Structure 1
Amino acid sequence: MRIALFSDIHANLLAFQAMLKDMDSQRPDAVYCLGDLVGYHIYPNEVIDEIRRRGIPTLKGNHDEKVENIITNAESHIEPGKKYAYHLIREDNREYLRTLPAHIKLEFKMNNEKFNLVFAHGSTRHIDEYVLVDTDENYVLQMMKEADADLLFVGHSHKPYHRIIQTDGRFKHVVNLGSIGKPKDGDPRGCYVMVTIDNDTTTLTSNRLKVAFRRVEYDVEASAKSIEDSPLPNEFAQSLREAK
């Protein structure tokens, strides 16, 4: 089974479209989005509409959650500032964001072994908590134990990695998907993950989980220019160019 996982689109439609084209060419068996569809860019409705059209199971990210506390009126659509990105969202899409879940868990049983994949936006404890490549190992293991997670997939930091932790004779995996629309690892290309679960997959050895990070090029300059032509701060455009 091949599973495509992506996160942190942040309304960057050009990056999202490029990722979808690449993902479709991979023909995954299942697709999941770990949240943050909106914020920082001017195409939240186009992104949400495509997610809903495809029926992609999606988590609520911290930027998606912000919509719950933002009140939009006629003036909101013309006032410059960081909140402009949230005021663009249609009411039906706001309702969709409000009802997204916090976590998704998949349980696999193969070769007399059970292992769980858990998806969260920030962490299994908090929607806006960073689980970084160097987060304290004991803290990560305790969090995974609470969530009954053998394989934990997260987003939020926009910095991709695959971390393997050995404990009690087994291997735990923590994977950060990076970001489709706002990378922060110095590489402006969008990033998503393809995970392969097959008859060789086990937590008894460290190298049996197949995780592939796919980087996707898109027209960064055109995307940045569309921000600069909007009421959003120009710093959002520059962050796309610099990927930080």
Structure 2
Amino acid sequence: MRIALFSDIHANLPAFKSMLDDMDDQKPDAVYCLGDLVGYHIYPNEIIQEIRKRGIGTLKGNHDQKVEKLITTPNSLQEPGKNYAYHLISQDNRDYLKTLPAHIKLEYKLQSETLNLVFAHGSTRSIDEYILIDTDEKYVLDMMQEAGADMLFVGHSHKPYHRILEDNDNKFKHVVNLGSVGKPKDGDPRGCYVILTIAADSSLSDKNSIQVEFIRFEYDVEASARAIENSLLQSEFADALRLAK
């Protein structure tokens, strides 16, 4: 079973298109998005429409949540500022974002073992909590036990990592941050997504039996940055794409 997972597109259509082309070549068996389709860029509707057309299981990110109390007036689309990115979203697409779930859980039966995958945007406790590579180990293990997660997949920080922890039962727990499709913050301007491979003999007792591959892809960063600069959004958003921070 090969599962493609991605997060934090942030309305960056050039990056999203490149990611989809690369992902389609991978021919995954399933695809999931961990949220933040919108914000920081000018193509939220195009992103949402493609996600919906493909029927991709998608979580609500903290930026997606911002539309719930947003009031757009004719003047809103003429005013520069960071909220311009959210005012661009159509009412139909806002309604879609409002209905997205907070978590997705998958349960696999492998031989005599159960493998539970949990997807969250920030964490299972909060949509905007950062679970970083150096977040306290006990805290992470306690949270995973609370959520019934053997593997926890998150986004939000835009910094990819795969962390393997060992619990009190000598089982290996996996925490994976997917990085970001459209707004990397790890110094590498290329977008990032993950291919997870689960085999028939994958086991929590063998940390190498579950494969997590980070795929970095090129896209036209400069064209994407110029599109921001030619809009009513702040130019700092364009600089953030160029510098990946």
> TM-score, with normalisation over the residues of structure 1?
0.99
CA distance in 1, matches of 2:28, 2:111: 23
Superposed CA deviations along residues 42-98 of structure 1, whole A, max 9, x for unmatched, are 000000000000000100000000011210010111100000000000000000000
CA distance in 2, matches of 1:42, 1:75: 17
CA distance in 1, matches of 2:221, 2:69: 30
Q: CA RMSD in A?
A: 0.4
Give the CA deviation at 1:199: 1.4
Letter in 1 for 2:241: L
> TM-score, with normalisation over the residues of structure 2?
0.99
Superposed CA deviations along residues 128-165 of structure 1, whole A, max 9, x for unmatched, are 00000000000000100110000000000000000000
Q: 2:114: which partner in 1?
A: 114
Count, aligned residues: 244
Q: 1:236: which partner in 2?
A: 237
Q: 1:225: which partner in 2?
A: 226
Q: 1:96: which partner in 2?
A: 96
Pick which of 158-167 and 204-213 moved more.
Answer: 204-213
Give the CA deviation at 1:208: 1.1
State the identity as a percent. 72
Instruction: Verify the 8 A CA contact 2:199 2:209 in the aligned structure 1.
Output: no
Q: 2:215: which partner in 1?
A: 214
Structure 1: segments with no counterpart, 5+ residues:
none
Deviating above 3 A after TM superposition, structure 1's stretches of 4 or more consecutive aligned residues are none
CA distance in 2, matches of 1:36, 1:70: 16
3-state SS of paired residue (2:100): coil
3-state SS of paired residue (2:240): helix
1:43 and 2:43 equivalent?
A: yes
Structure 2: segments with no counterpart, 5+ residues:
none
Q: 1:76: which partner in 2?
A: 76
Letter in 2 for 1:151: M
CA distance in 1, matches of 2:69, 2:188: 32
Letter in 1 for 2:214: F
CA distance in 2, matches of 1:206, 1:19: 28
CA distance in 2, matches of 1:229, 1:22: 28
Give the CA deviation at 1:186: 0.3
Give the CA deviation at 1:200: 2.5
